[in-house]
């Protein structure tokens, strides 16, 4: 593969759209990274993008997303090309395109709005795996599409037996992240419980972690307890969720240092006993009040908008966590130039939260 990449770079100008797309897809399919080839292919793909058919566009975007190769200029130009040719995209090509943008957290509001309309018209042609990818993509980027979700859930409930276990959990997580009509999602959760009771449920750690958040959504946020969640399933999901926490130590360290200068007590890396979310810190004020602090790094955002995961975490901590939540976006923090500005910012945030909780 390395030798082939070396030769391909020298001859990229001779590749037509199909050859270029197939080559990139092949490298991604076997998870073989070739940074030089993928970097050189960006300009080549952009220059020939008008000749790409829907399959070639979706495969190329999927290849860059799967390999994690930075290519914002390609995704930017491709969005316009997809919109132009959208009526020729089928279900697989739409779902693959959406999941590519969601995987790399690249926002394209016009593209997602356009595909929502086209997917709504063609939704009966989507299989449950494709439908799951579509909902996950919208939820991951925090892009609202209520009508699409409504129709998709109705179709999903009629085809429960065709879901993969992971696809089922992805769909439920998408509904939880967007807080979409919990009643309509009940048949999907019941199907998960049926699979568990018959020892047929097989989920990855990520799937189990998602299911923990879904269980919180049903049983705690909306107090839906029509059917008890088996203790062993809840414990498995809780264990997976607890092992999935991610920290941003450098940013946290600076924020904690400034907080300590405000003469408050700080407990770092606190597990919320009501949700099991890892809270970056809890600030204990002299009046006995406690404030949860969440320091959000770039992985928590799409541009400056929070991802679906971030929205879900904030919402569940605010509703269930028994403490007010202070979220500190990395981009807002980075706009503060001096230590004094950062102290003033944190003092103002604390005062605002205290005034809102009186």
Q: What long-range pairs does 2-11 form, CB within 8 A, spacing at least 24?
A: 2/34, 5/34, 5/36, 5/37, 8/37, 9/36, 9/37, 9/40
pLDDT of residue 358: 67
pLDDT of residue 169: 97
pLDDT of residue 187: 96
C-alpha distances (whole Å) from 225 to each of 3, 206, 233 are: 59, 24, 15
> From its phi and psi, is residue 113 left (phi > 0), alpha (psi between -120 and 50) or beta?
alpha
pTM beyond 0.95: the answer is no
Q: How many helices (H) and strands (E) does the chain have?
A: 17, 6
Sign of the four-CA dihedral 55, 50, 81, 26:
positive
Stated as kind and residue range, the H or E segment containing 99 is: helix 91-103
pLDDT of residue 32: 87
Q: What is the pLDDT along the chain (358 residues), one digit of tens a residue?
A: 778 888 888 899 999 999 999 999 999 999 888 999 999 999 999 999 999 999 999 999 999 999 999 899 999 999 999 999 999 999 999 999 999 999 999 989 999 999 999 999 999 999 999 999 999 999 999 998 999 999 999 999 999 999 999 999 999 999 999 999 999 999 999 999 999 999 999 999 999 999 999 999 999 999 998 889 999 999 999 999 988 765 568 889 999 999 999 988 999 999 999 999 999 999 998 888 899 999 999 989 998 999 999 999 999 999 999 999 999 999 999 999 999 999 999 999 999 998 887 6
First to last CA, the chain: 64
pLDDT of residue 8: 86
pLDDT of residue 248: 63
pLDDT of residue 43: 94
pLDDT of residue 113: 96
Helix segments in 198-282, DSSP class H: 205-215, 231-242, 249-260
- As a dihedral over the C-alpha atoms of residue 117, residue 310, residue 215, residue 200, rounded to 10 degrees, the angle is 70
């Amino acid at each position: 593969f390395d030798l082939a990449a070396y030769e391909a770079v020298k001859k990229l100008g001779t590749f037509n759209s199909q050859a270029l797309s197939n080559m990139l897809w092949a490298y991604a399919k076997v998870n073989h990274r070739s940074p030089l080839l993928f970097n050189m292919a960006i300009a080549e793909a952009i220059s020939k993008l008008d000749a790409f058919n829907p399959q070639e566009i979706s495969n190329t975007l999927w290849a860059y997303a799967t390999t994690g190769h930075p290519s914002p200029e390609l995704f930017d130009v491709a969005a316009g090309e997809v919109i132009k040719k959208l009526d020729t995209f089928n279900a697989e090509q739409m779902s693959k395109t959406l999941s590519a943008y969601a995987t790399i957290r690249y926002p394209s509001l016009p593209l997602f709005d356009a595909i929502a309309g086209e997917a709504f018209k063609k939704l009966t042609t989507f299989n449950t795996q494709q439908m799951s990818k579509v909902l996950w993509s919208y939820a991951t980027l925090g892009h609202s599409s209520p009508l699409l979700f409504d129709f998709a859930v109705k179709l999903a409930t009629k085809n429960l037996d065709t879901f993969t276990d992971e696809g089922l959990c992805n769909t439920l997580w998408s509904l939880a992240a967007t807080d979409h009509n919990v009643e309509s999602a009940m048949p999907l959760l019941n199907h998960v419980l049926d699979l568990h009771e018959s020892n047929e449920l097989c989920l990855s750690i990520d799937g189990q972690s998602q299911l923990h958040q879904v269980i919180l959504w049903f049983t705690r946020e909306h107090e839906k307890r029509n059917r008890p969640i088996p203790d062993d399933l809840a414990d498995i999901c809780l264990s997976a969720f607890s092992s999935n926490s991610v920290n941003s130590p450098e940013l946290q360290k600076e924020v904690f240092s400034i907080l300590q200068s405000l003469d408050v007590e700080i407990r770092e890396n606190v597990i919320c006993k009501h949700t099991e979310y890892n809270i970056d810190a809890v600030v204990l004020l002299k009046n006995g009040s406690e404030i949860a602090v969440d320091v959000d790094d770039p992985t928590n955002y799409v541009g400056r908008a929070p991802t679906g995961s971030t929205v879900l975490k904030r919402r569940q901590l605010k509703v269930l966590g028994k403490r007010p939540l202070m979220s500190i976006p990395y981009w807002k923090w980075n706009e503060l130039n001096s230590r004094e500005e950062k102290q003033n910012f944190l003092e103002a945030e604390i005062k605002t939260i205290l005034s809102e909780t009186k």
